[in-house]
Amino acid sequence: MHRAMSGGDMATGFVWRRVAAWSLAAAAVAAGAGFIGCKKSAPAPQQQVAVGVAKVYRVRGKVVSTNPAAGEVTLDADEIKGFMDAMTMPYKLKTPAILSELHPGDVITGKLLVGGDGADPLLDEIVVVAQARPDYVPPTQYHVPTAGDAVPDFKLLDQSGKQISIGQFKGKVLLITFIYTRCPLSDYCARMSRNFAEIDKALSANPALKAKTHLLSISFDPVYDKPVVLRSYGGAYTGLYTKETFAHWTFAAPSKSELPKLTSYFDVGVTAGEKGTLTHSLSTVVVGADGKVLAWYPSNDWKPAEVIDVVKKAVG
């Protein structure tokens, strides 16, 4: 639904589209239905997290303009699955004060908070994943994992307090995802861990596949996620608790000094939130036996079955 707009369109088109889209979307949410464009569809619970009476959708898009007076940012946004098609329109910010940090051309991710009362949804927990302002050099340059990219040999501390490196898994197909153990949202870190648990179980059922694969969950919260915490967290997700050997699925965290390089390479944006929480993006990667990227999943809508298919083809 992208289209070029003239100056008059910018003044009137965005407002009309916002009112129409928000009204239809709010009606769909109130009715318990998903919304894509102007057509109702089946609900997509995997894209939503209940927060009181609201629902939360993941948003990714490029900043077109900002309007501090209205507390809005206009985004050329990707499809918001289960809610609406790709569309260029204004979004009200829950915290308008951060508008000064956003510039046309920036690529951001965030969470769209949608209530059932007909009010405008609010954009919250924004992470700038690509900075476009020409006179500003961002402290972090994010790399988008692409098939064929060689993965650096990052160093990590695993759940047993042992120093490991990504390079040591060469010769196996390596699945990497990013989490932190205190994440409060069931559709983010917990979902990645549930997906990995399903993959671990499926691969472990086939001795040949298990021998040629490995899973690695990396925490981007090394201050809290010490080995003892990761060991308890990992054992809970494998279901073996204190009996887990972690022979096929490793939980680890980088040092504080290594963290920025690692998260920027895998396009993981992380900023401090309230009460010890972290606002973050998602990243799951399949790395071939040669240490090069095979596939990258930047959101939470991937299915364990599709990743398993990639792994089986890679193993051959």
pLDDT tens per residue across span 266-309: 999 888 877 788 888 899 999 999 999 999 998 888 999 999 99
pLDDT in tens, 194-218: 999 999 999 999 999 999 999 999 9
Which of 97, 114, 130 is where one domain is finished?
130
What pLDDT shows up at residue 304? 98
Q: Are 251 and 268 in contact (CB under 8 A)?
A: no
DSSP readout, 92-122? EESSGGGGGG--TT-EEEEEEEE-SSSPPPE
- Pick the closest to residue 17 from 74, 60, 64 (CA basis): 74
What pLDDT shows up at residue 5? 29
pLDDT beyond 60 at 112: yes
Domain CATH code at residue 243? 3.40.30.10
Look at the chain and report how many structural domains it folds into. Answer: 2
- Provide the residue range defining the domain that includes 69: 7-130
Of 280 and 36, the structure prediction assigns the larger pLDDT to 280
What pLDDT shows up at residue 136? 60
Q: How far is CA 255 from CA 6, 26, 264, 279, in A?
A: 50, 44, 14, 19
pLDDT beyond 50 at 63: yes
What pLDDT shows up at residue 142? 84
**Mind spelling out the 3-state secondary structure of 33-58?**
CEEECCEEECCCHHHCCEECCEEEEE
Which of 28-32, 142-146, 278-282, 293-297: highest mean pLDDT? 293-297
Band of residue 134 on the pLDDT scale cut at 50, 70, 90:
low
Q: Is 237 domain-assigned?
A: yes
Domain CATH code at residue 15? 2.40.50.320
Of 53 and 223, the structure prediction assigns the larger pLDDT to 223
What pLDDT shows up at residue 280? 86
Q: Is 143 domain-assigned?
A: no
As given in the structure block, the two tokens for residue 3 are 């289209």
Lowest mean pLDDT segment, chosen from 34-43, 104-113, 123-132, 288-297: 34-43
Q: Are 291 and 170 in contact (CB under 8 A)?
A: yes
Are residues 41 and 112 located together in one domain of the fold? yes
Are residues 231 and 265 located together in one domain of the fold? yes
Q: Are 268 and 297 in contact (CB under 8 A)?
A: no
- Pick the closest to residue 165 from 174, 155, 150 (CA basis): 155
Q: Is 2 domain-assigned?
A: no
Interhelix angle 304-315/189-204, rounded to 10 degrees, is 40
Are residues 27 and 175 located together in one domain of the fold? no
| pLDDT mean across residues, the chain | 82
Radius of gyration (C-alpha) of the chain in whole angstroms? 21
Q: Is 264 domain-assigned?
A: yes
Euclidean distance between CA atoms 250 and 234, whole angstroms = 8
Of 8 and 234, the structure prediction assigns the larger pLDDT to 234
What pLDDT shows up at residue 256? 95
Terminal-residue alpha carbon distance, the chain: 40
